[in-house]
Amino acid sequence: MDLPGLRQAGSATFAARRGRALSTHATRTMGKLGTTEIILIVAVILLIFGGKKIPELMRGLGRGMREFKDAKEGNEPKSEK
């Protein structure tokens, strides 16, 4: 149903009544991380864990990823130091 009077009243009103998104730009850029977002995420991580705890967390993450990879490939786990 196309009402010419409603379309002339404003495209945002017409789009909203037809169930269309009002801004296609916002839906296209969703999910992309920019420089500002990355800096904000790093700042929040620093505030939560502190500078001394981050290397320990990354070391544990690396070990976990290595164990997962070895288990997936069927390799025997390496002995720890």
Based on the domain organization, do 20 and 41 belong to the same domain? no
**Domain check: are 21 and 47 in the same one?**
no
Domain count of the chain? Answer: 2
44, 45, 46, 47, 79 from 51: Cα distances, Å: 11, 9, 6, 8, 29
| For residues 33-54, average pLDDT | 90
Tokens read off for 62: 């690396």
> Both 15 and 52 in a single domain?
no
25 and 37 in a common domain: no
Interval 6-29: pLDDT, tens: 555 555 555 555 555 555 555 556
| Residue from 30, 39, 2, 41 nearest 18 by CA | 2
pTM over 0.85: no
54 in helix, strand or coil? Answer: helix
User: Are residues 27 and 37 both part of a single domain?
Assistant: no
Which residues span the domain enclosing 7?
1-32
43 and 63 assigned to the same domain? yes
